[in-house]
Amino acid sequence: MSHKIFHLISRLYLFYFLSSTFITPVQADSLPMLDEILITSKHSMSLLSSSAGDIRILSQEDFSRLNAHTIMEVLETIPSINLIERGTPGSQADIRIRGSSIEGVLVLINGIRVHDPQTGHFTMDIPVDLSSVERIEVMSGGGSSLYGSSTSGGLINIVTKKESEGIVSGLSIGSYGSVNLGMSIGKQLSKSSYSLSLNGTRSDGYKKSSELERINADARGSFKSNIWTITGNIGLLNKKFGAGYFYAPYPSFEKTFTVQGGINATGILSDRKILRFGIGGRGHGDDFILIENNPGYYRNTHYNRSYIFTAEYLSDIYNDLYLIIGAETEHMGITSGSLGSHSDLNNAVYGELYKRVKKSDLTFSMRFDSGIRNENIFSPGFGMVIPLSNRIRFKINAEQSFRSPTYTELSYKSPANIGKTSLKTEHSSIFNTGFNVTGKNKEFEISLFARKSDNDIDWVRYTGDNTWYAANHNRLIMNGVEIKSQFNIFKKWESGFNAVVLNQSVKGRKGIESKYSLNPLGKTFTSILTGRLFSSLACTFIARYEEPMTGGYRIPVTMRLSRNFGNVKSIFSVRNMFNEHYEEIPGLPAPGRWFNLRMGYAR
């Protein structure tokens, strides 16, 4: 234990030593505390929640300051998110929020659901490049009262740029024969705009069966009239990668293809009334070979799809009393050689009432879902924010959440994993409360949260059996604390320290080993330092301490150095700087030290 503490402190001390030795001042507003949205409509492409929700926002300014190149590099700076990248970065990633399962996180693009009905392993197959993103919003803890199934952990909303002008291109080379080439072009007209991005990556991989080929293209457009604003996006993502030990101890290989698109239309009917429509769709294909050199032994092909249409009305009824009502219909299905062919239709209505009482904010939300598995589910929610002073706010919110089993959990069958058609729907009660304190050049927030899940869905193993089985734990209780802070240190260097500590208990546990639900990170601490070494060299240090509930710990550290040469920006990065050796997935070593040099041009 003493060695662990020394290991952590020595590395954090190195950051502060470097900071105090080489720092030149930067602006005090750098790396800002991620803002909260007061109240916005769902298809305005912002998360629909009062400030009682635990929402964090990362903007283009933050992407640049962090010297991030991918959406994953942005998300890994948030401590409530446990991002598990399988194999070579860019191949596949599982995502969890506050100890949820990978199925308990819902991804939105411009406010429209883009979840994968087959499995949460494909949730982050997002055909959007970071260069196309305006901001990323993360809401930790719930969301079913407005967004429906699969939000026990939270939501991630990726908002693409509405307007883009000029040309941006980049080339990067890195360890293990990694090469990335990307380009985007945009044009702004008087009432419309359009843009196109293309990005390609290849890598030999850091070990056997970890090679990667990846191509991504996305296009966006917008149009404005006196009343209506229409925005749209479409993206394609094609990947081929070594998947050794992803799901079973075999040298596997996988090919996936994703297409996603959506259109939002917003009409300003009057200064007090707004009408919105949203339509979107996603298709995902997957070709999985268990043993790469012997495809005939076991091979699975799947194609799943989902289509969604929403309509929403927002009205300022009277004197800071806002009403939002909406309706949503979603069709989803799968065609698979092993899972069979399935189709489901879900219809929902939802609403939120927001009221400002003196200086306090109150919200009441409700959603009714009907259709999936012939179930009718009500998901109520409540939120309140009370200012205790000019700098201190108290907030509290609670809601009911749920998630339906995926097609994989219901029907999958292989030598390593077997689904269960009689799985029950998972239902959760979620509670959050906390304080936010702001001051000059500093901010501090603490949140206490709890989640009680009945019929928690998981994959488990039993004594003497190497096969994983889908099952429901009777009851899972997760509670914890999250701390977020930001302050200036060492001649105005910007520092952020964040922490999440979880505690878990389970009743009616199934199996002796859990694949997902019962093995979250127990403790997560992140430290981010940004500033300038000398006068022209900007730097970013990110240290992340992770301690799984199953034991052990790891401290992956990332360093990025950047410098501008006119319209050209160069970024040198070292991922896993101290070459930590660890496994986030049993039998699958995480990549070691990884170097990368990127040159970007913008005009």
pLDDT tens per residue, range 302-327? 999 999 999 999 998 887 788 999 99
d(C-alpha 562, C-alpha 573), whole Å = 9
pLDDT, residue 239, reads 98
Q: Is the pLDDT of residue 41 over 70?
A: no
pLDDT, residue 249, reads 86
Residue 573, SS3 per DSSP: strand
d(C-alpha 63, C-alpha 530), whole Å = 12
DSSP 46: S
Residue-wise pLDDT for 543-602, tens only, equals 999 999 988 999 999 999 999 999 999 999 999 999 999 999 888 999 999 999 999 998
Mean pLDDT, to the nearest integer, of 36-40? 34
Backbone angles phi, psi at 425, to 5 degrees: -70, 140
Residue-wise pLDDT for 183-195, tens only, equals 999 999 989 999 9
Quickly tell me which residue has 């907030």 as its tokens.
Answer: 395
Q: Is the pLDDT of residue 370 over 60?
A: yes
The mean predicted confidence, pLDDT, of the chain is 88
- 600 contact partners, CB below 8 Å, separation of at least 6: 168, 169, 170, 568, 569, 570, 571
- 447 contact partners, CB below 8 Å, separation of at least 6: 54, 140, 432, 433, 434, 481, 482, 483
pLDDT, residue 81, reads 95
- Over pLDDT 70: what percentage of the chain? 91
Edge to edge, what strands does the sheet with 112-113 contain? 54-59, 133-140, 154-160, 105-109, 112-113
pLDDT, residue 115, reads 85
* Helices (H) then strands (E): counts for the chain: 5, 34
* Burial grade of 311 (CB within 10 A; 0-12, 13-18, 19 or more): middle
Q: Model confidence at 35, in pLDDT bands (50, 70, 90)?
A: very low
Mean pLDDT, to the nearest integer, of 57-84? 92
Q: What is the pTM of this model?
A: 0.90
Q: What would the DSSP string read from start to end of 188-251? A: E-SSEEEEEEEEEEEE--SSTT--EEEEEEEEEEEEE-SSEEEEEEEEEEEEEEE-TTSSSSS-
pLDDT, residue 517, reads 92
- 409 contact partners, CB below 8 Å, separation of at least 6: 103, 119, 419, 420, 423, 457, 459, 470
CA 97: distance to chain centroid? 8
d(C-alpha 40, C-alpha 401), whole Å = 21
d(C-alpha 19, C-alpha 529), whole Å = 8
Helix (H) or strand (E) holding 74: helix 71-75
Q: Model confidence at 402, in pLDDT bands (50, 70, 90)?
A: very high
Its domain, for residue 433, covers: 2-602
Backbone angles phi, psi at 227, to 5 degrees: -110, -40
Highest mean pLDDT (candidates 49-58, 183-192, 213-222, 271-280): 213-222
Q: Return the number of other C-beta atoms located less than 10 Å from residue 534's C-beta.
A: 11
Sign, Cα dihedral of 219, 225, 230, 231: positive
pLDDT, residue 51, reads 56
- Over pLDDT 90: what percentage of the chain? 73
Residue 379: how many CA atoms within 13 Å on its side-chain side?
31
CB 451 within 8 A of CB 430: yes
Angle at 86 between CA 83 and CA 88, to 5 degrees: 110
pLDDT, residue 438, reads 87
As for how many domains the chain has, the answer is 1
pLDDT, residue 374, reads 86
User: What letter represents residue 63's amino acid?
Assistant: F
Residue-wise pLDDT for 502-544, tens only, equals 999 999 999 889 999 999 999 999 999 998 888 789 999 999 9
d(C-alpha 315, C-alpha 442), whole Å = 36
Helix (H) or strand (E) holding 13: helix 2-22
d(C-alpha 104, C-alpha 401), whole Å = 10
CATH number of the domain encompassing residue 18:
2.40.170.20
Mean pLDDT, to the nearest integer, of 246-253? 90
Mean pLDDT, to the nearest integer, of 121-140? 93
Angle at 53 between CA 51 and CA 56, to 5 degrees: 85
Q: Where are the extended beta strands (E) located within 15-91?
A: 23-24, 54-59, 81-86
